[in-house]
Structure 1
Amino acid sequence: MKTRSVFISVALGVVCLTASCTEACTTTIVTRGASADGSTYVTHSNDSYSSDPSIVFVPAKDHPAGAMRKVYPSAIAWDDLPEYACFSNPRLVAPERAADYDYPGKARTKPLGEIPETAHTYAYIDSDYGVMNEHGLMLGECTNNSARLEYLEPKEGRGIFYASELGRVALERCRTAREAVRLMGSLIDQYGLWGTGETLLVADREEGWVLEMQPAPTGKGGFWIAQRVPDGEFFVAANQFRIRAVRPGDPDQIFNPRLPGMLKEAGWAAYDKKGRLDWVRSMKAVEDFHPYFALRRVWRALSLAAPSAKLPAKVKNWDTEAYPFSLRPDHPMTLTEIMDLHRDAYEGTAFDRRTGKNAGPFASPYRYGKTKWERSITSSNIAYTWIAQANDRLPAPVFWLSMSAPAESTYIPLAVAPLPEAYARNDRSHYDPGKAWWIAQQVTALTKGYYSAVIPKVLNAARKGEQRSMELVKSSSGWPKEVFTQVLRDNAESALSDWRELYGKLLAEHDGGHGLDYDKAFRPKPDKVLKY
């Protein structure tokens, strides 16, 4: 996803003029053969200072013959679009889609266009991007800042789909990842793309796919390609396209047959050393803002999954072939390891964000201001992170949701079903102690102030709650779906209550820094000079 910002073009890339664009999403697939419990997982961190943290259940519906589905714009693509009554918060005002998209007194979001509706649409969980549907189809997302076409604004006569609406249509209509990829590709071909280059991860119980897309300069159609992640392997994307050679006839790739010709016609076609059409080079998918804004996170995630691969932390160019598309983990990945991957700040490496003078007196992994700080997986501006999970044992598909940054929060499992009221209509501009965003944000804000002194207590509480939830989910096999979903709602209410109490306890202990042992909390270490 993309935070609002202003850009100027320079050389092969772009330079960001505001601090808000220095952070963006990280997304992964853990295939069933790569996970310890045989589940398929898709993860996504929604990193934006302007993101709407509301999580919405969209119910299944039947539609009459001849009905049309509205296709709405999204402010998360780039910025607010007042001419469409489209804003960051709330992201959508469309009562026909879900009750929690009804905001009395606010102007309804205006659609960019319509497509024919299908007779029946499936229930799903929605956020700034679609999360997961009732059949276990899962999505993840990250924005890709390509120098070819940074942003194509929506205008009459141009494409009507941005990645967020594209994913929602797939969740409404598809049961499998392969089916969803083909549907979204056909929608791009027929109705066109606007916005930014995007990656959507698409997975079900059996397999995972990576769908990458880029608007065309004409606003007609778009460029897209999808590649399957081999079972038993792990994949990560971090704001840069990851598919390389375009391989006609390969059953593990899906793309418009005209793609090679389209790239040549646009003058974008670029090739690898073997003479194969190279998607990354054709898109000129350069690093955004910093030489290690994207690739360092790819290196870190792949290295956490498979240290034995000994991947180089430093590479020469944005189009390096040093990092594989996906790899087999050294051991099957546990849910706890997947959770902790999204909490990572390069701990224990030469790039550990908690060390050096810039970490401050309490070893903070976060950086602020306009300086080109290196990006880690954890971020100061994460609105929420999900880990979608599907297997044949669960009574209903589950997603583990961490509001705010997971490094200072806890993951809570929820089913694709009506959610506790705390997750709906979370307004970042008005404090509401009953809302999940604010319950999490209180602990996050306090922890950021006294990081090294407070974080051990926060993580201890988070992991205890997560372990209880894991045991609850593990014991659910054979339960009726209705019982399971209600148990998860009750568990979420209890977990949010525990987190609210944690904030009060931490505030009493550390208000104003009183009672902190500075020397014990943090002993400064020499700065490491990192050369790129």
Structure 2
Amino acid sequence: MKTKSMIASVAVSVLCFAASSAEACTTAIVTRGASADGSAYVTHSNDTFSSDPNIVYVPAKDHAPRSMRKVYPSAIAWDDLPEYACFSNPRLVAPERADAYAWPGKERTKPLGEIPEVPHTYAYIDSDYGVMNEHGLMLGECTNGSQRLEYLEPKPGHGIFYASELGRVALERCRTAQEAVRLIGGLIDEYGLWGTGETLLIADKDEGWALEMQPTPSGKGGFWIAQRVPDGEFFVAANQFRIRAIKENSPDQIFNPKLPKMLNEIGWASYDKKGNLDWVLSMKAAEDYHPYYSLRRVWRALSLVAPSTKLPAKVRNWDTDAYPFSIRPDHLLTLPEIMELHRDACEGTEFDRTKDNGAGLFASPYRYGDSKWERTITARHIAYTWITQTNEKNPAPLMWLSMNAPAESVYIPLAVAPLPDAYTQTDRTKYDAEKAWWISQQVTILTRGYYSALHPEVAEAAHQAEKRSMALVSDAAGQSPEDFAETLRKNAERTLADWKSLYGNLLATHDGDHHIDYDKSHRPKADNVEKY
């Protein structure tokens, strides 16, 4: 997502481009053949200061013949749209979609258009972007910059779809990733695209696809292409398109057959050194702070899962081909390893954000202010991170949700089912001690003030809670989906209660005087007081 203050050459927005003081999202696919437990995973960090922290369960519904589905705008695409009563918080006022989207006293969001409804829609979990449906269809997202067209506003004559609504329609109507790719592509072709360049990661238990899209200057249709992530491999995107050569008749790519012609007619078509029509080059997908904003995260994620490849950390240009589309991990990835990937600040490398001159007094990995910094996977403005998981062992697909940045928070598993009240109807501008976002925020903000002193204790608490949750999921293998959802709801409530207690314990035992010291690399020298 982005705001109008973003630099015109933006190239990185993964949900998420956002204001100049914000950073952007990171999203990944772990195919089932790349995971230790045979699960398929999709990850997504929602990185923006203006994110709506509400997590919403949208129930399955039956629809009367000739019903129409409203297509709503989204402020997460760029900025608030008051003419449509569309704002960042709450992101949507539409009671017909879900009870959690009923905000008494607030004006209903106005749709950009309508499409024919289908007889039955599936249940799913929604956020600023769709998360996962009851059949295990999983989504991730990141916003991408393009020097061709940074942003196309929604207005009459332009397309009615932004990536967030496209993903929701797919979750409502599709069971498989490939079905979703074809549906989304068809909707773009028929109804048109507005907003920013976007990546949607789409996966089911069997396969994963990266779908990349870009509005046209005319607002008619849109450019889009999808590429399959080979089973046994890992894919990551970080605010920059990743698909390169456009390959006609390839079983591993899906795109509008007219795409090459469209790119040539508009004058955007660009070719690689081998003469292939190149998607990244055609979009001029340069990044915002090359090469340390998007590509640094791509390098880091690929290097974490496959260090043996020894990929170069430094490259010459934004259009480098130094990093493969996807990679086979050196070993099968575990769920804890996937969680830690989203907590990473390049620790142990020359880019370690806890050690350089920009680190805080307590070795904080975060930067503040409007300056452009190198970007790590963890970031101070992450609103929430999800890791969705589907396999044939769990009673139902689930998501592991961390509110705020997971480096100072805890992942809690939840099913595609009614959620605890703590996750819904949250006002980010008004403190509420019963809401998950604020419960997490308390620990997060306190920890960041004394990072090196408090972070080890917070991380240990998170790891213990996650270990308990994983054991609970494993033990629930024989439960019905309904009982499984209830088990996870009770576990979420317990974990949030424990996190409240953690905040109190941190205040009680680290009161600014006892047990706190600077990180040794930032410890001031003792005063040299002359005798008098």
**Under a length normalisation based on structure 2, what TM-score does the superposition of the two structures give?**
0.96
Partner of 2:420: 420
CA separation in 1, counterparts of 2:521 and 2:218?
Answer: 56
Partner of 2:202: 202
- For 2:75 and 2:173, locate their aligned partners in 1 and report how far apart those are by CA, in whole Å: 24
- Partners of 2:356 and 2:11 in 1: how far apart? 29
2:500 aligns to what?
Answer: 500
Separation of aligned partners in 1, 2:401 and 2:8: 37
Q: C-alpha offsets along residues 297-347 of structure 1, whole Å, 9 cap, x if unaligned?
A: 000000000000100000000000000000100000000000000000000
Rounded to whole Å, the distance in 2 between the matches of 1:321 and 1:8 is 25
SS at match of 2:521: coil
Cα distance 1:108–1:29, how it changes in 2: closer, same or farther (>3 A)? Answer: same
Contact 1:357 1:524 in 2 (8 A): no
Q: Deviations over 1:66-115 (max 9, x none)?
A: 00000000000000000000000000000000000000100000000000
Per the TM alignment, residue 287 of structure 1 is displaced from its structure 2 partner at its CA by: 1.0
Give the conservation status (yes or no) of the 8 Å contact 1:22–1:372. Answer: no
Alignment match, 1:514: 513
**Aligned residues of 1:306 and 1:329 also touching (Cα < 8 A):** yes
1:179-221 CA-to-partner distances (Å, cap 9, x unmatched) read 0000000000000000000000000000000000000000000
Name the residue aligned to 1:436.
Answer: 436
CA distance in 2, matches of 1:395, 1:7: 44
Deviation string, structure 1 residues 17-65 (Cα, Å, up to 9, x no partner): 9964541000000000000000000000000000000000000000000
Give 1:390-469 correspondences, 5 Å limit. Answer: 390-469=390-469
Task: State whether residues 2 and 19 of structure 2, in contact with CA within 8 Å, keep that contact through their aligned partners in structure 1.
Answer: no
Contact 2:94 2:101 in 1 (8 A): yes
Is the 2:401–2:412 Cα contact (8 Å) retained in structure 1?
Answer: yes
Q: In structure 1, the residue corresponding to 2:69 is in which secondary structure?
A: strand
| Alpha-carbon distance in structure 2 between the residues aligned to 1:331 and 1:201 | 23
Aligned to 2:247: 247
Residue aligned with 1:365, SS: coil
How many angstroms apart in 1 are the aligned matches of 2:11 and 2:186? 30
Q: How far apart, CA to CA, are the structure 2 residues paired with 1:313 and 1:157? A: 44
State the Cα RMSD in Å. 1.6
CA positional deviation for 1:13: 7.0
Cα distance in 1 for residues equivalent to 2:216 and 2:133: 29
Q: Aligned equivalents of 1:222 and 1:319: distance in 2? A: 22
How far, CA to CA, are the matches of 2:21 and 2:144 in structure 1? 12
Q: How far apart in 2 are the matches of 1:393 and 1:13?
A: 40
Distance 1:174 1:284, change over 3 A: same
* CA shift in 2, pair 1:32/1:498, >3 Å: same
AA paired with 1:164? S
- Alpha carbons 2:28, 2:43 under 8 Å: kept: yes
- Cα displacement string for residues 242-278 of structure 1 (whole angstroms, at most 9, x for unaligned residues): 0000000000000000000000011000001110000
* Contact preservation (8 Å) 2:362, 2:453: yes
Aligned amino acid, residue 466 of structure 1: E
Provide, for residues 280-307 of structure 1, a one-character-per-residue CA deviation record: whole Å limited to 9, x for no partner.
0000000113431000000000000000
1:518 positional shift: 1.9
User: 1:170 and 1:19 mapped to 2: Cα distance?
Assistant: 28
SS at match of 1:473: helix
2:263 corresponds to which residue? 263
1:76 match: 76
Cα distance in 1 for partners of 2:79, 2:488 equals 35
What does residue 529 of structure 2 align with?
Answer: none
Structure 1, unaligned stretches of length 5 or more?
Answer: 526-532
1:127-173 Cα deviation digits (max 9, x unpaired): 00000000000000000011110000000011000000000000000
Question: 2:510 aligns to what SS in structure 1?
Answer: helix
Contact 2:209–2:228 at 8 Å: present in 1 too? yes
- Secondary structure (helix, strand or coil) at the match of 1:358 reads coil
Counterpart of 2:2, as a letter, is: T
Match of 1:328 in 2: 328
Q: Partner residue of 2:5?
A: 6
Contact 1:5 1:20 in 2 (8 A): no
Q: CA deviation at 1:356?
A: 2.5
Deviation at 1:8, TM superposition (A): 5.0
Aligned partner of residue 51 in structure 2, secondary structure: coil
Using the TM superposition, give the Cα deviation of residue 370 of structure 1 relative to its aligned residue in structure 2, in angstroms. Answer: 2.1
For residues 14 and 103 of structure 1, the distance between their equivalents in structure 2, rounded to whole angstroms, comes to 32
Separation in 2 of the partners of 1:215 and 1:87?
Answer: 22
- Structure 1 residues 180-219: aligned runs within 5 Å: 180-219=180-219
- SS for the counterpart of 1:212 is strand
| SS of aligned partner of 1:299 | helix
Q: Tell me which residue corresponds to 2:527.
A: none
What's 2:39 paired with? 39
- SS of equivalent residue, structure 2 residue 358: helix
Write the mapping of 1:19-30 to structure 2, written as runs, cut at 5 A: 20-30=20-30
Q: Is the contact between residue 18 and residue 24 of structure 2 (CA under 8 Å) also seen in structure 1?
A: no
AA partner of residue 440 (structure 1): S
Compute the TM-score of the two structures, normalised by the length of structure 1. Answer: 0.96
Is the 8 Å Cα contact of residues 12 and 240 (structure 2) preserved in structure 1? no
SS class of match (1:500): helix
* Aligned amino acid, residue 475 of structure 1: D
**Given the alignment of the two structures, is residue 303 of structure 1 paired with residue 298 of structure 2, yes or no?**
no
* 2:94 equivalent in structure 1: 94
User: 1:18 and 1:522, CA in 2 relative to 1: closer, same or farther beyond 3 A?
Assistant: farther
**Cα distance in 1, alignment partners of residues 94 and 18 from structure 2:** 31
CA distance in 1, matches of 2:163, 2:216: 14
**Partner SS state of residue 414, structure 1:** strand
Q: Report if aligned partners of 2:158, 2:218 keep a CA contact under 8 Å in 1.
A: yes
Report what 1:222 is aligned to.
222
- Residue 528 of structure 1 aligns with which residue? none
Distance 2:487 2:264 in 1: 55
Query: SS at 2:300's partner residue?
Result: helix
